[in-house]
Structure 1
Amino acid sequence: MQAKKRFFILLFVGACILLLLLIGGGPAHRSRMHRSGRHLGRSWQRFSDPLQPFASPEQPETDNHGMRRRRDADPGMYKGKECRMESCFDFSRCESNGFKVYVYPRQKADKISESYQNILAAIEGSRFYTPDPMKACLFVLALDTLDRDQLSPQYVPSLKAKVQSQPFWDDGRNHLIFNLYSGTWPDYTEDLGFDVGQAMVAKASISTESFRTNFDVSIPLFSKEHPRSGGERGFLKYNSIPPFRKYTLVFKGKRYLTGIGSDARNALHHVHNAEDIVLLTTCRHGRDWQRHEDGRCARDNAEYDRFDYREMLHNSTFCLVPRGRRLGSFRFLEALQAACIPVVLSNGWELPFSEVIDWSSAAIIGDERLLLQIPSIVRSVHRDKILSLRQQTQFLWEAYFSSVEKIVLTTLEIIQDRLLRHAARRTVMWNRLPGGLFALPEYSTYLGDFPFYYAQLGASQGSHLGDSGAGSPSPRQHQLWASSLWIRPQRKFTAIIHAVSPLLSQSQPILKLMAAVSRSLYCAQIIVLWNCEKPLPPAFRWPSVSVPVVVIEADAKVMSSRFQHSDAITTDAVLSLDEDTVLSTTEVDFAFTVWQSFPERIVGYPARSHYWDAAKQRWAYTSKWTNDYSMVLTGAAIYHKYYHYLYTYYLPPSLRSMVDQLANCEDILMNFLVSSVTRLPPIKVTQKKQYKETMMSQASRASHWADPDHFAQRQTCMNKFASWFGTMPLLRSQMRLDPLLFKDQVSILRKKYRDIERP
């Protein structure tokens, strides 16, 4: 009997221990399962019908049919594997000077690849850079950490000791490490060959298992030929309706015979039909591929040679992006640029900038195990959805991926948003034109304060813009949305008159201009920017007008002061005027009403253009009257005040210093900036009298406009600006807006349509 009791007691204790083990292990197991399918499930949850998930996010990423899951990162790779901003980042370093980035000085003995040089140059040319480590919030190594494949010629040996010896290393705290390639043949693990400690990692091909959410940054894999700045625009020139192309789905790339590689690539021949589905692989890569070739290699190689990759890329609706040796692939960026919708087959890959980019609006995230379902899935996508996806690929490519500089800046802006916390950019700012790089959160987090979101606000009626998280709108903003009072630019403008001549008489053009502008119903105030070397005139010398007049004294040697960000500007719209501009009140009113329809652009009267001088191999500036234009001079133009903020804080000091030294080109620089943001040309409006840059007065003859070197300087400026932007952002336009019943000075007898102005 006693033995029986002991048996039941032991049985009960054993059952309790087993139950405790199950309870303790269950949540951890479920958590691991959730993380393994996190990205796949998140991407598909936001994807609209008719597409359905390839597989449940709760399914494991391994199976019994030969599909291999990417191995976990080496346990020694991240000493701070559980790092988050709150636990492994010292916020106190950023309190005094804001988000500033310090790059360690380069040592002559250190070998640095061209790609890493471009990364460091992008940081040093950004608004975040500081040469003073004591002012730095974030540190970036001058040691090249991009390629950590031991078989690569770019591999830097003995990096572990060099990293540990950095003077501010502190176990990696407040450091950012860039990496494109990790691990080596045959396994290609994510080990960097040294312990990153508490440093953040900006890494290509990073897995969701290794990715430390809201700490690391997933960046795209880019080639050494990727442009340093600027970059080509997307290849989508126009939207064809219906939006289908010659091919439905294409791929052309390597097939791996040894070592870890994409098993999906080895199975592509099952889906390839050589008609609308063209999926090509080759065995010809590596030194000894012939030793490992299988019975299908000869046929695959022959089919591979039949098709031109670029022709396929530019003429396909969808582009397959399967993983290769690593999770990422060059095909991803190539597809984005070509407006070929990426179909990503790389289980466990944390997509680039996934923290801020909604990839469901630009790509299809598939499952490697369900390759055979891909053709039916892509064929079921509605043409409206195809058009939307394709347009988003172009926006994302141009906003974040077209150059090394944009990739680096996006990385830094994401980290800055983490520091700002409740004042960070909202999701819509990252995923709508012009993107997060131009919607600076230091200015505002409310969409209505930016000129390029007016249309977005009006179209959405605020339904999806009040997302939870940083920068959420206040109840007052919701009230404004509901009443639709916010769905328009402000109804007033601030006139800023740039004064460079002394005030000698009451008949000077500036006083007449102030009188004409003040009579406008839309004028809220006039700001006179006194940029003259003579002393400021007493208050009684200025005319008495119906609107407030504010006189601000500026440094006469600083031409950029006319675009200085100032709290004195109380309206969204700024009417920028030279002191000798001749405009009537009706012309001012007309320009402002036009601007209200195009609040993101420069709207004005004097137009100029640029062209490529093939003989001199440089950009040229012209003031000749032609059928098109690409600039509207700010001597008589209206634009949004946010561009003052960008001019002051986004552009590098070197460009503003150039403008100040030349006392010239500030209007060209502003046109470059606005066109770069909007990717649109300015808008010209027509006045009754021709705009004249100079008045035949003694003061004007002494101005900078009368300098004989003025035109040559503007030619130089064009090329300097284009070099910094990395491209020519100016776009030509032939659109001119005239007032209703406008009559020009040409005789009716000389006009083709003579009856149009007859009573």
Structure 2
Amino acid sequence: MRLSRLIGLLLVILITVPLVSHYYISKIGEEAINNVAAEGHHRTRTLDHVEEISTAKVSDLRARIEELRKIKASVNNELRDLESKRQKLHAEISGYNTHIESLKSSYEATNLEFQKLKVTIENTRIEQEELIKRNTPEVLAPQRILPPIRHEGHTDPPGSPSRCLMHNCFDFSRCSLSSQFPVFLYNPEEYNFADVPLDSFIKSSVTQALNASPYLTYEPSIACVYLVLIGDVLGGLRNTSSLEQRLKQLSHWNGDGHNHVLLNLARHGGNRDVFSSVNTGRALLVQSTFTEQQFRRGFDVIAPPSVGEAQGDVWLDLPPIVPARRKHLLSFHGRLNAPPLSNLSALHSNLLSSETEQLLSLEKTIAETLKRMEVKFPADNFLFDVTCANSKAEECLNGEWALCGTAESRTTILQQSTFSLIIAPLNYSVISTVQTQLRIYEAFKHGAIPVILGKYTELPFANEGLLQTDKALLRLPKQRVPELHFVIRSIPDVDVLEMRRQGRILWETFFGSTRKIMDSVLAILRHRLNLPSFPVRDVPTPSVFNDSFIPLTEVVTDPEPDGEVDILGPMETPMASLRFRHNFSLTVDPHPIPGDPFHLYPYTPFEPVMPGEAKFRGSGLGFRPIGKGAGGAGKEFSEALGGNHPREQFTIVILTFERESVLISALARLKGLPHLNKILVVWNNHLPPPMISFGQILGSKFTQQVVKTNKNSLNNRFLPYDAIETEAILSIDDDAHLRHDEIMFGFRVWRENRERVVGFPGRFHAWDVNGESWNYNSNYSCELSMVLTGAAFFHKYYAYMYSYVMPQAIRDKVDEYLNCEDLAMNFLVSHITRKPPIKVTSRWTFRCPGCPQALSVDHSHFQERHKCLNFFVEVYGYMPLLNTQFRVDSVLFKTRIPHDKQKCFKFI
């Protein structure tokens, strides 16, 4: 029942609830619709109102926007005007700033020029003061002043010819200081003084030597000295009275033969003293054989034998100097020509018979000692032959050790010997013989250091100061023979090599040819007379342009300076170095200058330096001490050259070949360089350069000259041109770009090292272990041996040495390869000075933008330089180049200094 009721109730609910819900929903929806309609009506009215209001506002906004647009356009126009004005003002300000900078630069440049002018004016003022103080005339090369044709000079004769000396047997009045030492040679074809014909080689070689001499005159009336060639007489004269008569018949003998020189040059070991029983009057004797009683020291001359070439290069037959130790430590080949005891006593008439026996016994002791050394010290491989058992002995004097074998066999032995023994004659009154001098000659030639037993033996050109033989040989008393082995064993390799080198130099300079021997004889006579040598010859400097060539007035634009511009020194007018200041003092000192003892040079790099205080006390002419002696940093340093020598200038020599544009740029970079005397352009082409290109640069203010050459030769770079008037030469390639401060620094360094090459690009010689030869190396290295002359300072003296003294074979090799001239100059200077070059600054290479390709980049260039090194070593006999680990940079370069001080060079 309940269930049915419940079910019925649920059915009622189910039916009633939807109906009720629909009613209320409909009611609510109707109300909502009414409300929405009302709200929509309200909103429509509101929108209409808003629309009315918005329409009014939009109209106002549009008007406002239009107004703002007009304002914006007006503002933009004003901004554009302002920007234009701002840009104009900015441009004006930039222009003013540029002008201000220009004025600053102009002021700095003007101030720099002003400072330079101040330095130049001060320098000129000091020059004028020195000209006023200088009370000595400039010394020039001696000019020839000759005696009158009929000269009546007379000198009282000495008591006998044996007492002749220069002061009592020579007529000085015929040889004035300015006579230039005229020498007359009697024609050997007209005068034959011996009973046998004159040796043809001696006759021709002496004639050739004197014909090449600057002293030879063909006018006997003005001669200072008369030469008479007696010649090489084998076996002595048959008739001494005949020789006396022929001498007296000489056209200028004048009774006693004063100022005559009798030449008896030996060609063979058997040559004899032809004057032993001849009255030669006041004539000087020149020969190889002399006794103590006959030889007049300071008057007669001991000459070496003339067995070499007539003239020319003599290095071809010489062995190398190294190695120091050869196969045999000591060698000797000879046989004593022992006279009977009665003859020996006659030779030593002032000695007792017992003493003469002791002399003979001493010679036997020497022979026995040599045999013991040979047996006792087999490791030294001595080579002794005191009997000439296997060879023929040459004819010699009694009491003399005769030469054994032929010249060829002796050459083989000597070239294998470290030392060569030379035993003086038994008769100590015989101070020189042909065979003794021949032994010395051959030992020097073949590099066997002479060891002379017997200190009474005189050397060639003895007691004249011309030969410094102590550096090239050993001289011991015969009594030291037991200590001989110890003495030669105690000499280290460095001394052995230096003695051998000195001996080779002596041989090449004084003995190597008849020309050298005659030059030495004449040099000895000149020194005795205090006459200066003949001045060395400068090479003429012809211009490539004829006299009608006129340089253009337009000057090329000056290049921009590298880095900061600074005062590097005063701008001076060209000033030549003083020449021939020592033309007389060199004749007082008989020791020859290194390189060439036979000529007078206008200046050399070996001149002495005065004490430091001399420039302030009495000898200050020309000196420019820093800060007038007080010293100083950059400012004071740049105003004066300082150093230990008077102020000077330098000459630039530029070698070029068909590169006009490169050359013109190089010349332009050199403008304004202090202490520059002139620029010499060596135009290394037989065709002249284009005049238009050179017209501009030649129209510039600084002095220069373009030199015409005969052929394309790199040797032309080192010719001693007469246009070079300074001691200092800066040799540079046309593509070498050096800053002014680098050049000035190099010049200042060179002034303190005048005998050396001073420059920038360094190179070295390297040893090829496998090939046992030398190689040229251009790699960066901590050790150098060469400074290339493409950018280097050297003394003009070396230009003379290179052109006149250095072996011709080296110059020929330079021409053959068109290469290696810079190596040759380094070899020459190191050979003369035994010092390495000096490299300055860190500069190693030179870049030349726009330059044609250089020869040095070619592989064959280096191969040729390898060959040059080894050929030059062959010519010199050793490697002259010396290594150095030294480089020069400026003082104060990396030193911190106060702000008010300047460094010497800012970038060096």
TM superposition score normalised by structure 2: 0.47
CA distance in 1, matches of 2:819, 2:468: 42
Match of 1:638 among 793, 813, 819: 793
CA distance in 2, matches of 1:737, 1:287: 55
C-alpha spacing 1:647/1:309, structure 2 compared with 1 (3 Å): closer
Structure 2 letter corresponding to 1:451: P
CA RMSD of aligned residues (A): 6.5
Q: Which residue in the other structure is 1:408 paired with?
A: 518
C-alpha spacing 1:527/1:184, structure 2 compared with 1 (3 Å): closer
Q: Which residue in the other structure is 2:367 paired with?
A: 269
Q: Which residue in the other structure is 1:450 paired with?
A: 604
Are the equivalent residues in 2 in contact too, given 1:102–1:139 (CA < 8 A)?
yes
Q: Which residue in the other structure is 1:319 paired with?
A: 421
CA distance in 1, matches of 2:283, 2:729: 44
- The DSSP-based 3-state class of the residue aligned with 1:197 is coil
- The DSSP-based 3-state class of the residue aligned with 2:386 is strand
Q: How does 1:658-737 map to 2 (within 5 A)?
A: 677=832, 690=846
CA distance in 1, matches of 2:165, 2:213: 27
Q: Which residue in the other structure is 1:140 paired with?
A: 227
Are the equivalent residues in 2 in contact too, given 1:230–1:402 (CA < 8 A)?
no
Structure 1 letter corresponding to 2:205: N
Q: For structure 1, which runs of at least 5 residues remain unmatched after alignment?
A: 1-75, 290-296, 463-473, 544-548, 611-621, 706-710, 742-759
Structure 1 letter corresponding to 2:522: L
- The DSSP-based 3-state class of the residue aligned with 2:530 is helix
Deviations 1:711-757 (A, max 9, x none): 9xx99xx9xx99xxx9569968697999799xxxxxxxxxxxxxxxx
Are the equivalent residues in 2 in contact too, given 1:97–1:136 (CA < 8 A)?
no
C-alpha spacing 1:486/1:644, structure 2 compared with 1 (3 Å): farther
Q: Which residue in the other structure is 1:255 paired with?
A: 336
Q: How does 1:216-615 map to 2 (within 5 A)?
A: 216-221=300-305, 223=307, 229-231=313-315, 236-237=321-322, 247=329, 250-258=331-339, 263=360, 265-272=363-370, 273=372, 274=374, 275-276=376-377, 279-282=384-387, 314-316=416-418, 319-323=421-425, 327-328=432-433, 329=436, 330-337=438-445, 338-345=447-454, 347=456, 349=458, 352-356=461-465, 357-367=467-477, 371-376=478-483, 379=486, 383=490, 388=495, 391-392=498-499, 394-399=501-506, 400-404=509-513, 405-420=515-530, 423-425=585-587, 429-430=591-592, 434=594, 437=597, 440=599, 442-443=600-601, 450-451=604-605, 494-497=650-653, 508-515=664-671, 524-529=675-680, 541-543=699-701, 549-551=702-704, 563-564=719-720, 569=725, 572-577=727-732, 581-585=736-740, 588=743, 592=747, 599-603=754-758
Are the equivalent residues in 1 in contact too, given 2:199–2:232 (CA < 8 A)?
no
CA distance in 2, matches of 1:693, 1:147: 71
Per residue, is there more helix in 1 or in 2? 2
Are the equivalent residues in 1 in contact too, given 2:183–2:224 (CA < 8 A)?
yes
Q: Which residue in the other structure is 1:73 paired with?
A: none
CA distance in 1, matches of 2:198, 2:240: 7
CA distance in 2, matches of 1:158, 1:609: 65
Are the equivalent residues in 1 in contact too, given 2:709–2:716 (CA < 8 A)?
no
Structure 2 letter corresponding to 1:333: Y
- The DSSP-based 3-state class of the residue aligned with 1:209 is coil
Structure 1 letter corresponding to 2:679: V
Q: Which residue in the other structure is 2:174 paired with?
A: 92
Q: Which residue in the other structure is 1:114 paired with?
A: 201
CA distance in 2, matches of 1:487, 1:257: 65
How far did 1:253 drift?
Answer: 0.7
C-alpha spacing 1:494/1:451, structure 2 compared with 1 (3 Å): same
The reply to whether residue 191 of structure 1 matches residue 280 of structure 2 is no
CA distance in 2, matches of 1:634, 1:529: 15
How far did 1:191 drift?
Answer: 2.4
Deviations 1:644-670 (A, max 9, x none): 5657987999x99xx9xxx99998997
C-alpha spacing 1:229/1:163, structure 2 compared with 1 (3 Å): farther
Are the equivalent residues in 2 in contact too, given 1:146–1:181 (CA < 8 A)?
yes
How far did 1:256 drift?
Answer: 1.2
Q: Which residue in the other structure is 1:753 paired with?
A: none
How far did 1:639 drift?
Answer: 0.7
CA distance in 2, matches of 1:220, 1:100: 24
Q: Which residue in the other structure is 1:27 paired with?
A: none
TM superposition score normalised by structure 1: 0.55
Q: For structure 2, which runs of at least 5 residues remain unmatched after alignment?
A: 1-157, 345-358, 395-400, 532-583, 624-628, 630-640, 766-774, 856-860, 890-908
Deviations 1:674-724 (A, max 9, x none): 577558897888956558899679xx9xxxx9xxxxx9xx99xx9xx99xx
How far did 1:575 drift?
Answer: 1.0
Structure 1 letter corresponding to 2:368: H
Are the equivalent residues in 1 in contact too, given 2:736–2:848 (CA < 8 A)?
yes
Q: Which residue in the other structure is 2:23 paired with?
A: none
Q: How does 1:123-202 map to 2 (within 5 A)?
A: 123-130=210-217, 133=220, 136-141=223-228, 143-147=229-233, 149-150=235-236, 163-170=247-254, 171-180=256-265, 191=275, 195-202=279-286
Deviations 1:454-488 (A, max 9, x none): 8xx89xx99xxxxxxxxxxx9969xx9xx9x9997
How far did 1:145 drift?
Answer: 1.9
Q: Which residue in the other structure is 2:183 paired with?
A: 101
CA distance in 2, matches of 1:437, 1:652: 16
Are the equivalent residues in 1 in contact too, given 2:666–2:735 (CA < 8 A)?
yes
How far did 1:673 drift?
Answer: 6.7
C-alpha spacing 1:239/1:205, structure 2 compared with 1 (3 Å): same
CA distance in 2, matches of 1:376, 1:425: 40
Deviations 1:517-543 (A, max 9, x none): x55xxx522313477887997999425
Structure 1 letter corresponding to 2:367: H
Structure 2 letter corresponding to 1:407: I
Are the equivalent residues in 2 in contact too, given 1:627–1:734 (CA < 8 A)?
no
CA distance in 2, matches of 1:436, 1:172: 32
Are the equivalent residues in 1 in contact too, given 2:472–2:499 (CA < 8 A)?
yes
How far did 1:322 drift?
Answer: 2.4
CA distance in 2, matches of 1:576, 1:641: 11
Q: Which residue in the other structure is 2:97 paired with?
A: none
- The DSSP-based 3-state class of the residue aligned with 2:523 is helix
Are the equivalent residues in 1 in contact too, given 2:596–2:805 (CA < 8 A)?
no
Are the equivalent residues in 2 in contact too, given 1:94–1:100 (CA < 8 A)?
no
CA distance in 2, matches of 1:322, 1:245: 25
- The DSSP-based 3-state class of the residue aligned with 2:675 is strand
Moved more, 207-216 or 688-697: 688-697
How far did 1:494 drift?
Answer: 0.7
How far did 1:84 drift?
Answer: 1.3
Are the equivalent residues in 2 in contact too, given 1:252–1:279 (CA < 8 A)?
yes
CA distance in 2, matches of 1:627, 1:139: 60
CA distance in 2, matches of 1:168, 1:88: 14
CA distance in 1, matches of 2:368, 2:850: 73
Are the equivalent residues in 2 in contact too, given 1:314–1:340 (CA < 8 A)?
no
Structure 2 letter corresponding to 1:178: L
CA distance in 2, matches of 1:555, 1:168: 47
Structure 2 letter corresponding to 1:375: P
CA distance in 1, matches of 2:389, 2:487: 34
How far did 1:148 drift?
Answer: 5.4
How far did 1:228 drift?
Answer: 6.3
CA distance in 1, matches of 2:221, 2:822: 36
C-alpha spacing 1:124/1:385, structure 2 compared with 1 (3 Å): farther
